[in-house]
Structures are given as C-alpha cells and as structure tokens.
C-alpha cells in the first residue's frame, strides 16, 4: 500500500465509517484505528467533486467545500457488466446477463458465468451478481459440469478475502437483514471473528487470525443454514 511506502494517504469516504456496508461499528472502529496508526487519515461523509491541476493532478475539491492537495488519486467506483456485445442476441439483460439457478440464460443451452452473470441464489433466495474471482472459478466449473450432463443448481456461499497492511481476513455469506451478531476473540486486537445470524440461522462470517476450525466451518455452517 501507499502508506507502507511512506506516502501520506487520505481516504475520502461517503459514509461515516469504514466498511459501512459490511462491518459492524466495532469492526469499523478497529480498522480505522489500525489505518490511522499507520499514517492514514480519513475524511468522512464526503465525495470528490472535482480534480484539478496544471497539466497534472495537484488537488481535489470535495462536496463539503474542503480541498485536498495531492499528487495521486485512487478511485473506487465499482464496475458495470459489459453486455453490449450481446445486444440483439435474444438474451435477457439486466444488471448483467440474467441466468437461473443453473446459470442458464433464457435461451436454452446458453450459460453465463463470472462477474457478468446475474444468477438466482437459491441459498439466500435472491438474485446476485458477484465480482470476485472465487465466484468466477466456481461458476465456470459448474457450467462445465452442466455441459457434461450433471445438471444441478449452482449453490455457493459468496466469498472474498482482503489483505490490509499485515492483516488478512476472509468473509463468507451475506449479512443483510441479520438480527444477531456474535464475536469470538477480542475485537480490539487483530484476532477476532464475527458471526451474523438472521432468524437464528447463520448467514455470514468474518474471520481474521483465528483458529483454522473457524475458517473451515464458516462456509459449511452457512450453507447448512
């Protein structure tokens, strides 16, 4: 990361804490302290309004009226699925290529996999499009098995991992709508796990520097509901 190279870093967040869509407030507090201890500053509840400079970037103006001097800006804007090549193909297009629980499109025998596939998640009973290589690999393998005659619904616990400074954590599932949160370990240290439940069913887990059995059990227990 830039901060590890001795470069002053300021993170501009739309929300009032880090990882607002995923982390609990206590988790966000831990990561913010961890970042700040390594030289990262935060500007919260703000967005970049304008970037300017004489031939090269020198400052960014925020919608709060604040201006930040900078030489480099890294922007996380998400992605859009590229479906233009499929225009007029007869395939149903929405937020990606719409497929069913078998990853099959509305045209029999045509399948989609990876970031572009908007599939029916039978585990969480909702449509989902996942932008992570783990999903792309799993769906590609599933399509191959289907084409070889093993037609089964695609059942997969959403997953991603991240490395932050010297930390590495993993996350499984979908914590939206969870009504119970439990923590194992000490959330003020770099070794803890967080478990989300919805109507008494495990729906998501975050694991960082915890015993191996927690990491191994997380996707299994989520898939069992």
- Going residue by residue through the chain, which has 225 residues, state the pLDDT in tens, using 9 for 90 and above: 788 888 899 999 999 999 888 999 999 999 999 999 999 999 999 999 999 987 888 999 999 999 999 999 998 888 889 999 999 999 999 999 999 999 999 999 999 999 999 999 999 999 999 999 999 999 999 999 999 999 999 999 999 999 989 899 999 999 999 999 999 999 999 999 999 999 999 999 999 999 999 999 999 999 987
In this chain, the answer to whether the domains covering 3-69 and 159-224 adopt an identical fold is no
DSSP state of 21: T
Residue 78 is predicted with a pLDDT of 80
Question: What is the rounded CA–CA span in Å between residue 83 and residue 128?
Answer: 16
The string over 16-41, giving b where at least 16 C-beta atoms fall within 10 Å of a residue's C-beta and e elsewhere, is ebbeeeebbeebbebbbebbeeeebe
Residue 54 is predicted with a pLDDT of 79
Residue 33 is predicted with a pLDDT of 94
The CATH superfamily label for domain 84-147 reads FAD/NAD(P)-binding domain (3.50.50.60)
Contact criterion met (CB below 8 Å) for 196 and 204: yes
Fold classified for 159-224: Enolase-like; domain 1 (3.30.390)
Structural domain boundaries of the chain? 3-69, 84-147, 159-224
- At the second CATH level, the architecture of 3-69 is 3-Layer(bba) Sandwich (3.50)
Question: What is the rounded CA–CA span in Å between residue 92 and residue 108?
Answer: 12
The string over 88-109, giving b where at least 16 C-beta atoms fall within 10 Å of a residue's C-beta and e elsewhere, is eeebebeebbbbeebbbbeeee
3-state secondary structure of 197: strand
Residue 53 is predicted with a pLDDT of 86
Ramachandran sector of residue 187 (left: φ over 0; alpha: ψ -120 to 50; beta: rest) = alpha
**Which residues are registered as beta bridge partners of 159?**
172
Residue 3 is predicted with a pLDDT of 86
DSSP state of 93: E
């Amino acid at each position: 990361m830039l901060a590890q190279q001795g470069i002053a870093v300021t993170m501009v967040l739309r929300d009032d804490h880090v990882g607002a869509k995923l982390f609990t407030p206590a988790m966000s507090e831990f990561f913010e302290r961890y970042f700040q201890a390594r030289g990262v500053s935060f500007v919260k509840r703000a967005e970049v309004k304008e970037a300017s400079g004489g031939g090269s970037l020198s400052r960014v103006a925020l919608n709060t009226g604040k201006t930040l001097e900078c030489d480099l800006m890294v922007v996380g804007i998400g992605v859009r699925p590229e479906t233009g090549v499929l225009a007029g193909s007869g395939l149903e297009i929405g937020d990606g290529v719409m497929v069913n629980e078998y990853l099959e499109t509305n045209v029999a025998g045509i399948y989609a996999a990876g970031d572009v596939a908007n599939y029916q998640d039978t585990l969480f009973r909702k449509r989902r499009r996942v932008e992570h290589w783990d999903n792309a690999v799993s769906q590609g393998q599933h399509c191959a098995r289907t084409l070889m005659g093993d037609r089964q619904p695609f059942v997969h616990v959403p997953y991603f991992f991240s490395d932050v400074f010297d930390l590495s954590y993993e996350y499984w599932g979908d914590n939206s709508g969870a009504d119970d949160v439990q923590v194992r370990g000490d959330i003020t240290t770099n070794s803890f796990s967080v478990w989300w439940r919805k109507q008494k069913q495990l729906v998501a887990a975050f694991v960082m520097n915890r015993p191996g059995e927690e990491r191994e059990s997380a996707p299994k227990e989520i898939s069992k509901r």
